[in-house]
Structure 1
Amino acid sequence: MTKMMNNNKSTTHSSLLIVFSFLLLSPCVFAQLTPNFYKVSCPNAEQIVKQVVIEQFAKDPTITAGLLRMHFHDCFVRGCDASILINSTSSKSSEKTAGPNLTVRGFELIDEAKRRLEAACPSKVSCADIITLATRDSVVLAGGPNYAVPTGRRDGLVSNPNDVDLPGPTQSVTSAFQTFKNKGMTLDEMVLLLGAHTVGFAHCSFFSDRLSNFQGTGKPDPTMDPALVTKLKGLCAIGSDPKVFLDQNTSNVFDNEFYRQIRKNRGVLKIDQELASDPSSSSLVSTLASNPAQFFKSFGDAMTKMGKIDVLVGTAGEIRKNCAAFNPRPKTFIDSVLDIVEKIIE
């Protein structure tokens, strides 16, 4: 009798493992990002997001830079899944706590858009789509291109600060490009996306060595325009680690002035200035500096492509009720199977 019970237990155990393996390995059918994804489920979704951006832009035109940075930092870590929005808890840190993300801003705008969307269409519009749409809308308000944003992204279920590995301001073109290449982006697309610095700014600590002690020489970076060195020294002497615009000419306008500036050795960040001097990127910088229409078209295309990096679609991920927190996770059938398997194994 004992032998028969053990055989039955073994058979049941094997059957459950086969079922569980089938559930894990069965292919899922995923939808794709499409224009007007919310046409039926939330017809006014894009207009609701746009209205929130309009209101915030009227109070703070620099929000364009903030959203562009948020969008980039989100998509280059686990894909465009809004993992950057998750707040840390007492037991687990999130991406927000990673060094590169400590100065990311614009979270309140995303939260407000989500609040209005939940009131209009509960659990329909993802936080990942809100980031992508809001970024595009803010670029347009700053004078930039109105590029395509297909929607249908879903929100991720993981936010780990250890996953955050982004290119830094002191990297070379070659080194920075490796990160873009790993995400399926080309060198030209990297040059175009960095054109977002036309409305960006940076804390003085990110480039202070270029002003007085470049690479331990005790002198400013010789590749920086001396007049800009003098100006930035004055700006950085005010307050505690203040911010300065990366485009010192048309700071809040989304245009191609950034490329004109770096061709005059007026790049604030080392990586920006090297775009104009590195043989692999200098030719495109020259073209974009003289052709604003090409910059707008190509920048828009690059942003559309970036917005598709490792997206979750179909039934993957979730649609968060609160962008700063994962939805409470209900127990699924797979969870139940796992519980049974664990008990049998015990």
Structure 2
Amino acid sequence: MGAMIQMLSTPFLFLLLSLWSLGDGLSLNYYDNTCQGFESTITDVVKKTTKNDKTVPAALLRMHFHDCFIRGCDGSVLLNSVGNNTAEKDGPPNISLHAFYVIDKAKQAVEAMCPGVVSCADILALAARDAVVISGGPTWDVPKGRKDGRVSKAIETRQLPAPTFNISQLQQSFSQRGLSMADLVTLSGGHSLGFAHCSSFRNRIHSFNTNNDIDPSLAPAFAANLRSICPLKNTAKNAGSSMDPSPTTFDNNYFKVVLQGKSLFSSDEALMTTSGTKGLVSQFASSKGAFNKAFVKSMIKMSSLTGGQEVRLDCRKVN
């Protein structure tokens, strides 16, 4: 879900809490009197772009997560670097983010309907929901009314939970955002969609620790395949592996591969290290319905972290 961060100090936690609020001003009918029908416009853009690029849904879902975990869901991940400021999208964990053009297209279409009304942050939250639905996942009503942020700093991407995190690091990262261990397991199910580069899981298949070259929790045949794809040296630039066997379908296969020792990230395997998280993994692996219901609840909770100040006219720059 991100790249390595340092454990956050208490003063910095207070700063985060002062930047964010939990859903203040959000409502399901926020735009009813100012921009009716715009949600279907966003959906049409996501559908059309997905027809041309099957990686769009995974990209949009990841983009939304990476946006919400920094300054709240304020569209700061969409801003371009300017002058001496390097923006979030150019931070190490976000270099592989793509499909920003989808949000641009949706914003342009919505602006043509209702100039200066709908925030980029709301468009991203709705596009992430559409990405899940288009991929076979559940739908939900997205609370709206987010504002767009004016600050975007690459250095703050260190706050994103890393694929190398253990369970205590993950718990701290999520709890600092008002998210529970159940939310952690549930939102990890977003790994149902997408592809991971070798750099994100190399730690598990080469020089794992002083006693094991390969993480012993990995299924041996699966680990051998990963090592063939990602050798210690001369790994192809875009080499990697799908997150689960159905990387363009939103389903519960991710939880099945976690149980089988075939997950990619250390943070995925970490879900098996406490009885509570392991129990949820097992529950979601056996019931797609239970996972879908929990995912909707956790997505609404995460996407209700707010922190912006304006409605941008261009998602890539402040007004």
Query: TM class by shorter-chain length?
Result: 0.7 to 0.9
- Say if 1:148 and 1:300, in contact at 8 Å, map to a contact too: no
Q: State the Cα deviation string for residues 24-57 of structure 1 (Å, max 9, x = none).
A: xxxxxx9721113222211121011001000111
CA distance in 2, matches of 1:35, 1:73: 23
CA distance in 2, matches of 1:294, 1:71: 23
- Correspondence for 1:4: none
- Correspondence for 1:181: 175
The question of 1:252 aligning with 2:245 is answered no
- Correspondence for 1:321: 313
- Correspondence for 1:18: none
How has the CA–CA distance of structure 1 residues 204 and 216 changed in structure 2, closer, same or farther, with 3 Å as cutoff?
A: farther
* Alpha-carbon distance, 1:218 to partner: 5.7
Q: List structure 1 segments (4+ residues) > 3 angstroms apart after TM superposition.
A: none
- Say if 1:205 and 1:241, in contact at 8 Å, map to a contact too: no
- Say if 2:43 and 2:127, in contact at 8 Å, map to a contact too: yes
* Alpha-carbon distance, 1:142 to partner: 0.4
The TM-score, its normalising length taken from structure 2, stands at 0.88
CA distance in 2, matches of 1:271, 1:200: 16
Letter in 1 for 2:237: S
- Correspondence for 1:243: 240
Q: State the Cα deviation string for residues 42-74 of structure 1 (Å, max 9, x = none).
A: 112101100100011112222121111111111
Letter in 2 for 1:297: K
Letter in 2 for 1:194: S
Q: State the Cα deviation string for residues 55-114 of structure 1 (Å, max 9, x = none).
A: 111122221211111111111111000011110112322112221111112211001111
Instruction: Say what the alpha-carbon RMSD is for the aligned residues.
Output: 1.6
Q: State the Cα deviation string for residues 137-164 of structure 1 (Å, max 9, x = none).
A: 0100100010220111111121122322
- Correspondence for 2:5: none
* Alpha-carbon distance, 1:227 to partner: 1.3
- Correspondence for 2:20: none
The question of 1:46 aligning with 2:43 is answered no
- Say if 1:33 and 1:152, in contact at 8 Å, map to a contact too: yes
CA distance in 2, matches of 1:67, 1:173: 26
Letter in 2 for 1:255: D
- Correspondence for 2:68: 75
- Say if 2:77 and 2:89, in contact at 8 Å, map to a contact too: yes
- Say if 2:74 and 2:148, in contact at 8 Å, map to a contact too: yes
Letter in 2 for 1:309: L
The question of 1:265 aligning with 2:234 is answered no
- Correspondence for 2:127: 134
* Alpha-carbon distance, 1:241 to partner: 4.4
Gaps of 5+ in 2: 1-22
CA distance in 1, matches of 2:306, 2:238: 35
| Greater Rg over alpha carbons, structure | 1
- Say if 1:246 and 1:269, in contact at 8 Å, map to a contact too: no
- Correspondence for 2:227: 233
Within a 5 Å distance, the mapping from 1:99-178 to structure 2 comes to 99-164=92-157, 165-178=159-172
* Alpha-carbon distance, 1:286 to partner: 0.8
Letter in 1 for 2:149: G
- Say if 2:147 and 2:306, in contact at 8 Å, map to a contact too: no
2:48 to 39, 55, 63: 55
Identity of aligned residues (%): 38
CA distance in 1, matches of 2:171, 2:49: 33
- Correspondence for 2:281: 285
Q: State the Cα deviation string for residues 270-325 of structure 1 (Å, max 9, x = none).
A: 1101212333411111111111101001101100111111344xxxx111110000
SS in 2 for 1:183: coil
CA distance in 2, matches of 1:287, 1:218: 31
CA distance in 2, matches of 1:216, 1:113: 50
Q: State the Cα deviation string for residues 218-246 of structure 1 (Å, max 9, x = none).
A: 62111101111122223335622423111
Letter in 1 for 2:289: A
- Correspondence for 2:4: none
Paired residues, number: 293
SS in 2 for 1:244: strand
* Alpha-carbon distance, 1:125 to partner: 0.8
CA distance in 2, matches of 1:273, 1:218: 16
The question of 1:219 aligning with 2:216 is answered no
- Correspondence for 1:210: 204
- Say if 2:167 and 2:273, in contact at 8 Å, map to a contact too: no
